[in-house]
């Protein structure tokens, strides 16, 4: 008998809890998926627009490629309005570099491009390139310089070039090792 009354008490308690939940649920406003808070069509449109912008930014990520013949004059007559940037690591630059080139290793280029001009000059020893200034990137074989072009473009630089042959091409044509 005692057992039956405990079971009955549990059932009554469950029933009362269920009734409370039903009252709470009916008091809450209904969830509307097309309300101003959540409009799937505007979210889809915003995503589509963001994708278009992203695709446009990434569509031209390959910078124009320069040949030895195009880079050579830039090394013979350097201009303050243009940079030739070697993105190899300092231990590689010890082997040699293009005349008038400055070193800005790929490993730190993204962080460096975010520095203010004074901090940039203190860290690297040359003026920070302007966003519309001509920049020719090179490395050992042209792969890292392509990555540097991509990083520069994503940071707002617009006048960037990749010396695709890079150091290997330069040394082969100049007769150096």
Please indicate whether residue 149 is annotated as part of the active site.
Answer: no
Residue with tokens 């990749």: 162
What gap in Å lies between CA 171 and CA 87, rounded to an integer?
16
Asked if 66 and 77 touch (Cβ cutoff 8 Å), the reply is no
The dihedral over CA atoms of 138, 152, 128, 143, expressed in degrees to the nearest 10, equals: -20
Instruction: Choose the catalytic residue: 113, 139, 152, 160.
Output: 139
Q: Please give the backbone phi and psi of residue 150, each rounded to the nearest 5 degrees, phi first.
A: -65, -45
Q: Which residues are catalytic?
A: 139
């Amino acid at each position: 008998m005692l057992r039956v009354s405990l079971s009955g008490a549990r059932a009554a308690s469950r029933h009362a809890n269920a009734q409370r939940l039903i009252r709470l649920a009916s008091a809450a406003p209904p969830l509307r998926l097309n309300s101003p808070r959540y409009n799937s069509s505007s979210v889809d449109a915003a995503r589509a627009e963001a994708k278009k912008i992203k695709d446009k930014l990434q569509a031209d990520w390959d910078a124009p490629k320069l040949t030895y013949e195009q880079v050579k004059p830039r090394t013979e007559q350097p201009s303050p309005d243009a940079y030739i940037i070697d993105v190899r690591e300092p231990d590689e630059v010890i082997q040699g570099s293009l005349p008038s080139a400055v070193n800005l290793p790929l490993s730190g280029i993204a962080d460096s491009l975010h520095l203010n001009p004074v901090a940039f000059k203190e860290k690297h020893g040359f003026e920070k390139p302007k966003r519309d200034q001509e920049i020719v990137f090179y490395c050992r074989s042209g792969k890292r310089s392509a990555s540097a072009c991509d990083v520069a473009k994503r940071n707002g630089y617009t006048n960037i070039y990749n010396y695709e042959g890079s150091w290997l091409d330069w040394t082969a044509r100049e007769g150096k090792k």
